[in-house]
Structure 1
Amino acid sequence: MELKIYEVVNQQYNIGGDGTAEFDIPYAAHSGKNKLDLYIPTIKRERYPLVVFIHGGAFFKSSKERHLSNVLNCLLYGYAVASINYRFNDEAAYPEIRMDCIEAFNFLAARPEIDDKKIVLWGESHGAYLADDITVSCSHMLQFKPAGIVSFYAPIDLKDFYLYKEEHHEHVMVDGYENDSVTFRAEGDSLLKEMEKYAVLKNISGQEPPFYLLHGKQDDTIPYRYTKEFDRALAEKKVEHVTDIVEDGIHGIDFYASPKYNAPVLRFIESVIEGGR
């Protein structure tokens, strides 16, 4: 396959004749951040399968306008694409951040042009964690069942990831405070206890949809062992999944903007969407 590169013009993606776009659609009223962009392909369908992108940024940065070019290639398959914003930790604590995403997903599933039986969630970094956490731990809050999940280099065990950062003196500071303490509104032992509530690996039931996991061995932000642990946990519960550990892969979706990495992801998306007919 040939991967198409979509350019950003005035902070919006130019998709040319591949579809139409509606920007900054409000899905909730908690904050000005509660907006999403929706791209509908030119290929006509009665109802469109949908791929929803959840950006990363450690709950304090990035936006729905970043890193979307790869995902927009789904338009060429006749799939709609959405990219969502959610509140950051300067406005909301976890799990309020998670609830923003749930509201966005349910809002999209209720759109009349969307086929709610063919929705795939695609997240990167902490956005992948959100997709994984919601699918595994909050399926009862979703008004649909995701057809599949694409999870790029997720910090799947937040407590262990915090301890790893502490050991390596890699804490991110936000307004003078350690980022995770801002996100969870807690410090010290209470912070670790709060993070224990979001133990995705312990919550896998075996009823989850298929996953596509990707992680680079050279990722110096989130070690690839987290995806290996996720792979083992899914295997133990016999959840269908594909795991791609990239030998020279780093942290950052732009590294993977090539057919080599995206062709298998797009084949996975096609299989879970078309296989659900």
Structure 2
Amino acid sequence: MFKSLFSKAFFINLLLIISVTILIIWGIFKYLNSYTLNGETISVPQLEGLTIAEVEKTLKEKNLRYQILDSIYIEKGEKGVVLEQQPLADELVKQNRTIYITTSKIIAPKISMPDVIDMSLRLASAKIESYGLRVGKLSYFPSECVNCVLETKIKGKKIDINQAIAKGSVIDLILGSGTSAEKVLVPYIIGLTIEETTNRLQASFLNIGATIYDDCVTSIDSINAKVYKQTPIHSENTAINMGSSVDLWLTCDTAKIKIQTPSVNDSTEFMNE
């Protein structure tokens, strides 16, 4: 009988001790959790879509810091705002925690204009888009190369190969429409620079063909080189189809340039076949 009572009392006390211990441990965790939430941790605010100025103000109020991990350019969407953040919004962190963010660039990065001259429209469009650029307006000019790219422009200004342009720019293309049955007199271009020659030929709806420079011409002074020979030559009887090309020989040696008085008016003249 005594043994039975002793065993019963022992187990009751043991259960009480275990219960009290559990309650104490639970109370400690409850207290620590409440203390941590109210004093040491902060809910991370939503930063995505905010500007840097807004981020600084928001985090300062929360006693948090930030660091820009990366800045990327996006063609569409708002510029200069937070795209991603880590930790995410509503996560609990300690005070003075650094929030890492990725932002969108305000200014588009510069890239080199790809070489698409003489390419077909299909190939040129694919190459332009692969560089993060867009194809804009298509214009046609008489040329022996049908549907080939003759020139590239941005907002009406000619763009040269490898020229620095903003990523995402719209590239307008001048394409060849084929030669016309209408004839045009070959203009006299001896003594002109390459830029002057281009303007003169375009006024006659003609294109520059092969360009051959003398050894004296370097990449630096080629802009100032002048035409000393042309094919076809200029004469009152030399007429070619609109869109045809004129081959040029250029030099820096003024002794080679023998300018003659044109035999006919040098303005654009057309002839009926």
TM over 0.5: no
- State the TM-score, normalized to the length of structure 2: 0.22
Q: Which structure has the greater CA radius of gyration?
A: 2
Higher strand share: 2
- State the TM-score, normalized to the length of structure 1: 0.22
Whose relative contact order is higher, 1 or 2, with alpha carbons under 8 Å and at least 6 apart?
1
